[in-house]
């Protein structure tokens, strides 16, 4: 790490006073104690809360920690990098660097020393071999003749919607078809690289970016639509400007105006995906779309202070028990709000929440699934 950057990071770390207000949602005016940090809440040791992690980063930079112990790897990587801590912190401090930025940089520092988790290294290998994060060797098939190579809109599907929760991709394509909208998909869609950035393996993403940028430029599309906020965030923050508009599915649908949706008699809570909300600031459009198809039941922790579903930042692959515990906490909150369904706008959230809800009387959807269902076919 360059000395100037190191000094900048150490300065930010020195300004954390360890008040730990970052670990709870706004207390006033309702005087409710609502934890915000899944990692700290689950593991308990100070090392798993933001202030403890910062102290560890300091010790790494100052050469006090020279070996990758189990506790080091767990405390650094068993964090969804959800950013809830920073949303709270920035309300009350002028801390110059956000915690997620620091923690991703800490992972990059660890990865540069070879201190990555084996499971994350294995994901990087899979991506290298198969160009998707799950190492799948088959292609997600789009109905033949449905796409239009000259369409202005390109749907970037993403690894998780292609290989783990295809019902989301199916629903989005269904919406395009039902509304008679022209769209295209990439001939050869490669992983966006999000998981590599989140797990500190930044350099491994270079070729992916190169490929995807080239494909999108060639496509002539003016708008790229994402159902995956993780992909969209990566395109927004880590890709060069391609001169195209990047929009989330819920933004795209909101712009369409009246879609003649048949509202269902369904009480639904909306779960803000971290990448969509805290990272991209998109809070209203998903709610506007969901409001067209269901009755929204508000949960206590929402928007900037939403509880993370538990699957991001490489946690789902490495710490599944923790990921499922976080999701279960969210399901409880949805039920307390009186919801019959928990609706998100992210394939990663849907996958983890759905898995946690296996034995629950609570349905889990992505918002595009409900829209597709409520569209007159």
69 binds other proteins (CB under 8 A): yes
Pick 83 or 158: Cβ nearer other proteins: 83
Pick 35 or 135: Cβ nearer other proteins: 35
Give the CA dihedral 330, 331, 336, 340, nearest 10 degrees: 140
108 binds other proteins (CB under 8 A): no
Residues 249 and 330: their CA atoms lie apart, in Å, by 23
10 binds other proteins (CB under 8 A): yes
Pick 76 or 290: Cβ nearer other proteins: 76
283 to 41, 302, 304: CA distances (angstroms): 25, 9, 9
Question: In the chain, what is the greatest distance between 2 CA atoms, to the nearest angstrom?
Answer: 63
Q: In what order do the strands lie in the sheet with 341-344?
A: 295-296, 267-270, 341-344, 363-366
Nearest distance, CB of residue 40 and other proteins, angstroms: 10
Peptide bond into 29 cis (omega under 30): yes
Nearest distance, CB of residue 43 and other proteins, angstroms: 9
Pick 12 or 168: Cβ nearer other proteins: 12
Eight-state DSSP code of residue 62: T
Q: How many residues bind other proteins (CB under 8 A)?
A: 42
Q: Binder to other proteins among 1, 6, 61, 72 (CB under 8 A)?
A: 72
Long-range contacts of 28-31 (CB under 8 A, 24+ apart): none
- Residue whose structure tokens are 């290998």: 125
Nearest distance, CB of residue 318 and other proteins, angstroms: 16
Pick 95 or 169: Cβ nearer other proteins: 95
92 binds other proteins (CB under 8 A): yes
Of 273, 215, 211, the closest CA to residue 244 belongs to 215
Site string for other proteins, 19-38 (x = CB under 8 A): xxx-xx-xxxx-xxx-----
Site string for other proteins, 33-62 (x = CB under 8 A): x----------xxxx---xxx-xx-xx---
Q: What stretches of 263-374 adopt beta strand conformation (E)?
A: 267-270, 295-296, 341-344, 363-366
Eight-state DSSP code of residue 132: S
181 binds other proteins (CB under 8 A): no
Nearest distance, CB of residue 13 and other proteins, angstroms: 8
Kindly list the residues in this chain that would bind other proteins in the complex (CB under 8 A).
10-11, 14-15, 17-21, 23-24, 26-29, 31-33, 44-47, 51-53, 55-56, 58-59, 64-65, 67, 69-72, 75-76, 92-95
């Amino acid at each position: 790490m360059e000395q100037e950057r190191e000094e900048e990071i150490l300065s930010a770390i020195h300004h954390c006073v360890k008040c730990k207000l970052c670990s709870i949602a706004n207390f006033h005016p309702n005087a409710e104690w609502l934890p915000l940090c899944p990692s700290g809440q689950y593991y308990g040791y100070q090392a798993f809360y933001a202030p403890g992690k910062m102290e560890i980063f300091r010790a790494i930079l100052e050469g006090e920690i020279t070996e990758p112990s189990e506790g080091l790897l767990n405390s650094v990587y068993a964090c969804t990098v959800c950013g809830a801590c920073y949303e709270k912190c920035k309300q009350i401090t002028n801390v110059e660097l956000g915690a997620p930025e620091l923690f991703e940089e800490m992972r990059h520092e660890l990865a540069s020393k070879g201190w990555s988790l084996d499971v994350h290294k294995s994901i990087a290998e899979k991506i290298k071999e198969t160009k998707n994060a799950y190492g799948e060797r088959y292609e997600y098939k789009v109905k033949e003749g449905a796409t239009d190579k000259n369409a202005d809109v390109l749907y970037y599907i993403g690894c998780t919607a292609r290989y783990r929760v295809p019902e989301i991709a199916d629903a989005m394509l269904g919406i395009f078809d039902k509304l008679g909208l022209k769209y295209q998909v990439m001939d050869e869609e490669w992983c966006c690289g999000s998981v590599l950035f989140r797990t500190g393996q930044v350099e491994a993403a270079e070729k992916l970016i190169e490929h995807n940028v080239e494909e999108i430029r060639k496509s002539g599309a003016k708008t790229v639509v994402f159902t995956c906020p993780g992909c969209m965030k990566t395109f927004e923050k880590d890709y060069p400007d391609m001169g195209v508009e990047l929009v989330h599915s819920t933004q795209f649908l909101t712009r369409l105006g009246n879609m003649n949706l048949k509202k269902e008699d369904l009480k639904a809570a909306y779960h803000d995906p971290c990448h969509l909300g805290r990272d991209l600031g998109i809070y209203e459009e998903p709610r506007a779309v969901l409001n067209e198809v269901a009755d929204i039941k508000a949960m206590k922790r929402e928007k900037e202070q939403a509880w993370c579903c538990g699957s991001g930042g490489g946690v789902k692959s490495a710490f599944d028990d923790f990921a499922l515990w976080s999701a279960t906490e969210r399901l409880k909150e949805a039920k307390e709000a009186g919801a019959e369904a928990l609706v998100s706008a992210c394939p990663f959230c849907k996958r983890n929440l759905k898995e946690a809800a296996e034995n629950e009387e609570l349905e889990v959807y992505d918002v595009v699934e409900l829209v597709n269902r409520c569209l007159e076919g």
